[in-house]
Amino acid sequence: MELEAAKLKYIQTWGSLATSWGINKTMAQVHALLLVSIEPLSAEDIMDTLKISRGNVNMNVRALIDWGIVRKEFVVGERKEFFVADKDIWELFKQVTKERKKREIEPVIKVLEELQNDVKEESEEAEQFKKLMQDLSSVTSTVNSILDKAIKADEHWLLSSFTKMIKK
Amino acid sequence: MELEAAKLKYIQTWGSLATSWGINKTMAQVHALLLVSIEPLSAEDIMDTLKISRGNVNMNVRALIDWGIVRKEFVVGERKEFFVADKDIWELFKQVTKERKKREIEPVIKVLEELQNDVKEESEEAEQFKKLMQDLSSVTSTVNSILDKAIKADEHWLLSSFTKMIKK
DNA sequence: TTTAATTTTCAATAATTTTTGAAAGTTTAG
DNA sequence: CTAAACTTTCAAAAATTATTGAAAATTAAA
């Protein structure tokens, strides 16, 4: 397979994985494109390769910068902005995990804990509900703390430490 | 807070978490409703509580059954079908993880490996691309194998505090 | 300054996903 | 068997989400 064809296939594949995990397809594709590019790319380069509008590129590049996985880079003699994605994939995984944890998982844990505390009733049914909230927040917190460790750890922590946990 | 209000709030919260992880909101809400219900619920019960159509209930309940996290149950003297969600949350986590792994992560690993092998070119650029595919598939595989272990692990390894609710 | 290049914004539009509801299909009681 | 109860299907409508493109804002060169 040609290198360029392979790059495009990777961009497509990554885009569709993103879609099923609730991440904007274009955003994933822009990121994938920057990853496989040797040179920094301008907004126009991205528009041309992915066949998308200027506005779309701008919005998604900014989102990627917000997420901390893409950065601007200046090219000597060029006025316009260029973008690069760092190619350390483990770092990328950590960044994305960190953001999603903070934005999505942590608020849910908070609500589950509140619900547990706010129900004052003491019927059998209420106790069951509180128990369910507790179990849910337990599992959610455990997942959260595994992710926490992953974020802080060195490259191969995740696998080995997890194995230890299982074996106890 | 009233128990019923708390249940509804939980259903909402869970629905919005689902949305940001690429899972249909109604599907998550139906599941949440079944989780907080003491009795098995009929399609009509679900329609009434969530204010959604019969067709919608049918589709989403079937999807939940497909995912292996909801099952039909018969109620004596009743002709229609009733549904229940098992309340073992760890089991739920395992089931969902298993499905997503199989449907979404594994096919991506396969593509990444193919891309690595299919590019025959040996330029510096091609080598960098292959290296990237390798890194991506190694991170993806690591995540995948962690999930694998979680799925296979004994029910209680994660949380010693886990107590069972109604075990059928 | 002024002007041209470039980036950002956002209302309008397009694409996608979800939901509805009524008709068709199935099952069971009598 | 037939009829009523119930479930499933799926085309059309609604809701949601993503994208465009042109105008406004910003930046930097002249």
Question: For residue A29, what are the contacts with CB-CB under 8 A and spacing of at least 6?
Answer: A11, A12, A14, A15, A18, A50
Handedness of CA A91, A95, A100, A102 (dihedral sign): positive
What strands lie across the sheet with B41-42, from one edge to the other? B41-42, B82-84, B71-73
Of A138, A131, A144, residue with least CA distance to B156: A138
Q: Is the CB of B63 under 7 A from strand C?
A: no
Residue ending a domain, choose from B84, B106, B132 = B84
Which residue in A20, A87, A159 is closest to B146 by CB distance? A159
Chain B nearest-CA residue for A112: B10
Q: Is the dihedral of CA A51, A53, A57, A63 positive or negative?
A: negative
Last residue of a domain, one of A24, A56, A84: A84
User: Cα torsion at A69, A75, A78, A79 (round to 10°)?
Assistant: 40
Task: Kindly state whether residue B125 falls inside one of the protein's structural domains.
Answer: yes
Tell me, yes or no, whether A80 and A10 share the same domain: yes
Which of A80-94, A149-163, B1-15, B84-98 holds the top average pLDDT?
B1-15
- Mean pLDDT value of segment A9-17: 95
Averaged pLDDT, A154-164: 51
Q: B7 in a domain, yes or no?
A: yes
Query: Are residues B142 and B107 part of one domain?
Result: yes
Kindly state whether residues B126 and B94 are assigned to the same domain. Answer: yes
Of A133, A167, A162, A130, residue with least CA distance to A146: A162
pLDDT recorded at residue A156:
53
The mean-pLDDT minimum among A10-19, B94-103, B141-150 falls in: B141-150
- Considering the domain boundaries, does residue B32 fall inside one? yes
Q: Note whether residue B61 is domain-resident.
A: yes
End-of-domain residue from the set A57, A84, A111 = A84
B46: Cβ contacts below 8 Å, ≥ 6 apart:
B30, B33, B52, B57, B61, B83
| Terminal alpha carbon distance of chain A | 46
- Does B164 map to a domain? no
In a domain, B165, yes or no: no
Co-location of A67 and A11 in the same domain: yes
SS3 B165: coil
> Same domain, yes or no, for A17 and A71?
yes
Least confident of A7-21, A107-121, B154-168: B154-168
Least confident of A19-23, A29-33, A150-154, B134-138: A150-154
Number of structural domains in chain A: 2
Do B73 and B7 lie in one domain? The reply is: yes
Q: Is the pLDDT of residue B131 over 60?
A: yes
Structure tokens at B72: 């039909």
Residue A50 is part of which domain span?
Answer: 3-84
State yes or no: pLDDT of A165 exceeds 60: no
How many angstroms separate the CA of residue B15 from the nearest CA in chain A?
A: 11
Å between A126 CA and nearest CA of chain B: 6
pLDDT tens profile A119-146 = 999 999 999 999 999 999 988 888 888 7
Asked if A9 and A77 sit in the same domain, the reply is yes
Residues B42 and B99 in one domain: no
Question: Are both B73 and B97 inside the same structural domain?
Answer: no
Whether any strand D atom is under 7 angstroms from the Cβ of A24: the reply reads: yes
* A93 plus A34 within the same structural domain: no
Q: Is B160 part of any domain?
A: no
pLDDT, residue A157, reads: 53
Nearest to B140 by CA among A83, A34, A13: A13
Q: How confident is the model at residue A154 (pLDDT cuts 50, 70, 90)?
A: low
pLDDT of A155: 53
H helices, E strands: number in chain A: 8, 3
Residue in chain A nearest B151 by alpha carbon: A166
Identify the CA nearest to B150 among candidates A76, A147, A6.
A147
- The answer to whether residues B10 and B76 belong to one domain is yes
CATH label of the domain that carries residue A75: 1.10.10.10
Does residue B79 sit in the same domain as residue B145?
Answer: no
Please give the pLDDT value at position B160.
35
Question: Which residue places its CA closest to the C1' of nucleotide D29?
Answer: A79
Is the pLDDT confidence value at A79 over 90? Answer: yes
For an interface test with A, which of B4, B9, B10, B166 has the most A Cβ atoms less than 10 Å from its Cβ?
B10
In a domain, B25, yes or no: yes
Residue B159 confidence (pLDDT): 41
